[in-house]
Amino acid sequence: MTLDPHRLLVLRAVHRTGSIRSAAAALHLTASGVSQHLTRLEAETRLALLDRSRRGGGRTAALTSAGLALAERADDVAAALAEAEREVDRMREGTEGTVRVGGFPTALGSFVVPALQELAVSDPALQVQVVEVDAAEGVALLRAGELDLLLGERYAESTTAAPGPHPGLVEDDLRRDPFRIVVPRIRSASATLDELLAGPWVTTPRRHVVRDVLERLAARHGVVTGHLHLCTDSRTVLALVAAGLGAAVVPELALAYLPSDGVTTFGTAVDLGARVLTVVGPEHARRSAATRRFHRRIREIAGREAVPAVSNV
C-alpha cells in the first residue's frame, strides 16, 4: 500500500480547520476537490477516515479515530516538506533576508513570536521586523511596500458585508478560531443557557461580529439579554468577566493567549461560529524567498492545536 503524502496533508487540513470548505480555502482547492482527495485516501487505506454521520450542513467535518491518527502523522509529513522547501530556498537565493510582518496583538503573540523563537535556532540569518497595526493601516503599508505580510481575521458568518479582495494582494487562511462563551469563575455552574443570556453581558458595540453572535444566539432562544458593558479589547472583556460583571463571547485564541484568571468557559453544544485567521501579502510569485520561508513557518505554527487556558464549567 502506497499513501499519497499530499492527500495526507488534505486530511490534516480538514482536521485543523474543522470543515471541508475551510480546508479547501486554506489549500486553494474546491470543496469537491478536497472531498475527492479524502475519498481516494479512504480507498488507499481501506479505512473510514471521515465520520459522515456527524456532518451538519457542510459546516463541520469530524474524523474517525483512524482519520485522527493519520492526521496526526501528517504533521510529520508537513514538517518534512516545509524543511525541504526551506532548504531549496536557502540554496537558491541564499540564507539572508528581511521580512516585515504586521498584525493585531493576539495574532502576533500567538504565531509570530513562536516563529521568531524557532527561527532563532533553525534559520538565524532570517531577520524579521514586527509591526503592530490594525487591518486598514496594515493593508495601506502592504500596498506601499512597507510590509511584507499582514496577519488579519475574517468573519465568515458576520451580518456585515466583508470587504472585497485587495487588488494585487492575496489572502491565505491560517486556521479557524471558534467563539466561546466565558463566565466568571465564581458563577454557579448550574445556570442554564437561557438564564445566562438573560443576565448581564460584556460585548462589543453594534456592527461588530461578537455582538452579532450574541444577538443571534439570544434571538434563537427567544431571550432578551440583560445589561450590556461595551468594549472591543479582549483583555478588557476578560477583566470585566473575571470581576463578575457579566458573561462574554470571545475567540478561543484569546483565551489561550491572554491572562484569563477568574474566568471559565461555559459548556454548550451550540455552535457559535468562528473567525478565520488569515495572512495577507503580495501575490506569491512576487514574494522574496525570506518572506516565503517566514510564511511557511507561520502556517506550521497556526496548524498546531491551540490549548485553551481555561476549563469548562
Q: What is the mean pLDDT of residues 117-122?
A: 88
- At 90 the pLDDT is 59
**247-276 pLDDT per residue, tens:** 999 999 988 888 778 899 888 777 888 999
In order of 80, 118, 128, 134, 217, the CA distances from 86 in angstroms are: 10, 14, 16, 30, 45
- At 91 the pLDDT is 61
In order of 87, 185, 226, 272, the CA distances from 198 in angstroms are: 57, 18, 5, 17
Domains, the chain, in order of start with CATH, read 5-73 (1.10.10.10), 177-274 (3.40.190.10)
- At 161 the pLDDT is 42
**52-108 pLDDT per residue, tens:** 776 554 456 889 999 999 988 888 888 787 767 766 665 655 556 789 999 999 999
Residue 133 has pLDDT above 90, yes or no: yes
- At 306 the pLDDT is 54
**Phi and psi at residue 130, to the nearest 5°:** -105, 130
- At 158 the pLDDT is 44
Distance between CA atoms of 106 and 177, rounded to whole angstroms? 12
User: Where are the extended beta strands (E) located within the chain?
Assistant: 50-51, 62-63, 97-103, 126-132, 149-154, 169-184, 201-203, 228-230, 247-251, 263-265, 274-282
Judged by average pLDDT, the poorest of 85-89, 127-131, 175-179, 263-267 is 85-89
**201-227 pLDDT per residue, tens:** 999 998 888 899 999 999 999 998 888
User: Where are the extended beta strands (E) located within 157-246?
Assistant: 169-184, 201-203, 228-230
Residue 181 has pLDDT above 90, yes or no: yes
- Return the higher-pLDDT residue of 88 and 26: 26
- At 96 the pLDDT is 60
- At 111 the pLDDT is 94
- At 185 the pLDDT is 86
